[in-house]
Amino acid sequence: MESIRVVMCLLAILFLQSCGSVKNNRSSKEKMSAYLMTYFKDDTHGLYFALSKDGYTFTDVNNAKPVIAGDTIAEQKGIRDPYIMRGNDGYFYLAMTDLHIYGKQKGYRETEWERPGDKYDWGNNRDLVLMKSKDLIHWSHSILDIDKMYPEWNVGCVWAPELIYDDVKGRIMIYFTMRKAKGKTKLYYAYMNKEFTALETTPEILFEYPDSTKQVLDADITKLPDGRFCMMYVAQENPGGIKMAFSDKINSGYVYQPEQVDFEKKSCEAPNVFQRIGENKWVLMYDIFSVNPHNFGFAETSDFKTFTNLGHFDEGVMKRTNFSVQKHGSVIHLTKKEAELLAKHWNMNFSFDK
């Protein structure tokens, strides 16, 4: 009888813990009240933050000045392609390309590129910049040197890192664009260590494009409500644009679909998908590098099959209040407290209506 009582007590405890876990997960979702956008600019190669209460209108927290200067965190004195992720451990994670494309003009180096262009091609680099924070204000920092870890690959470039938590592996998966020497850019993935300072696994191919003569880059993975994964990415067709591939696994098995899902007449890149808080709607945001001045384009979907064109920043429902010529953005959700604390730190007026 005593053993039965013990078993029943354990089952009751597990049930209550399960209920509490579900409740906490649900309440944390209900607390999300704002949006944070990261981006960079070519003139500074620094990191920028912008906040939004509704997911439509964004305001830069530092009046269109970097929140972190690229020359303070990057080997090449500049960052590009910042991606932010909310971890399941209470931390925020940032991953960025370590590259300054105007390093010679700025006096950071004497050559056009870090290494000879005839051997390593345009925009060659070796590193990624990694950062971690509890409050979006104070950040730890490390450099992930892919070339030093794998010298036999003769790495030509390592660009556009993104992050996603793999529930199966129990680790953050980092995925990025990589070129070996002057070859074609391809998509790779690996798993981070717990400290978010180094790779725990060797990078592997994430997805092979059916036409090996084309370059692919800038992957962005979204976990869908049905458990599948949608990967947006760029195929450098003519024009280059955003395509989708779907898989039941986070790191393999993505099935090619030929259609482009952006609405641009010219080339675009850097897809990022975020969900509208409290809605069964997702926004695809992308960088239209083929227009002058640079701008973002937006499309909206509820099923990842059909998309509605939302136009460009300031040419439709999506608005900017105090910044422009932004590049390669990413968006996450914040709680009211997180958004207000970040705004207060940067002396930004961002209070919610009571």
Q: What is the reported pLDDT for 264?
A: 97
Residue type, 70: G
Q: What is the reported pLDDT for 352?
A: 81
> pLDDT per position in the chain (354 positions), as tens?
444 444 344 444 333 344 443 333 333 454 999 999 999 999 999 999 999 999 999 999 999 999 999 999 999 999 999 999 999 999 999 999 999 999 999 999 999 999 999 999 999 999 999 999 999 999 999 999 999 999 999 999 999 999 999 999 999 999 999 999 999 999 999 999 999 999 999 999 999 999 999 999 999 999 999 999 999 999 999 999 999 999 999 999 999 999 999 999 999 999 999 999 999 999 999 999 999 999 999 999 999 999 999 999 999 999 999 999 999 999 999 999 999 999 999 999 998 865
Q: How far apart are alpha carbons 253 and 249 in whole angstroms? A: 6
The sign of the dihedral angle between the CA atoms of 21, 53, 94, 214 is: positive
Residue 185 resides in a domain: yes
Q: What is the reported pLDDT for 316?
A: 95
Q: What is the reported pLDDT for 7?
A: 39
Residue 23 resides in a domain: no
Residue 8 resides in a domain: no
In order of 4, 205, 235, the CA distances from 186 in angstroms are 57, 8, 10
Q: How far apart are alpha carbons 190 and 199 in whole angstroms? A: 7
Q: How far apart are alpha carbons 143 and 129 in whole angstroms? A: 5
Number of domains in the chain: 1
Residue 3 resides in a domain: no
Residue 212 resides in a domain: yes
Q: How many CB atoms lie within 10 A of CB 304?
A: 19
| CATH number of residue 72's parent domain | 2.115.10.20
Tokens 């705004």 sit on residue:
343
Residue 222 resides in a domain: yes
Q: How far apart are alpha carbons 300 and 56 in whole angstroms? A: 12
* Tokens, residue 42: 């070519």
In order of 26, 187, 330, 350, the CA distances from 228 in angstroms are 21, 19, 21, 36
Residue 25 resides in a domain: no
Residue 165 resides in a domain: yes
Q: Kindly give, in sequence order, each residue whose CB lies less than 8 Å from that of residue 158, ignoring residues fewer than 6 positions away.
A: 97, 98, 125, 126, 127, 128, 146, 147, 176, 177, 178
pTM above 0.75, yes or no: yes
Structural domain that includes position 221: 33-346
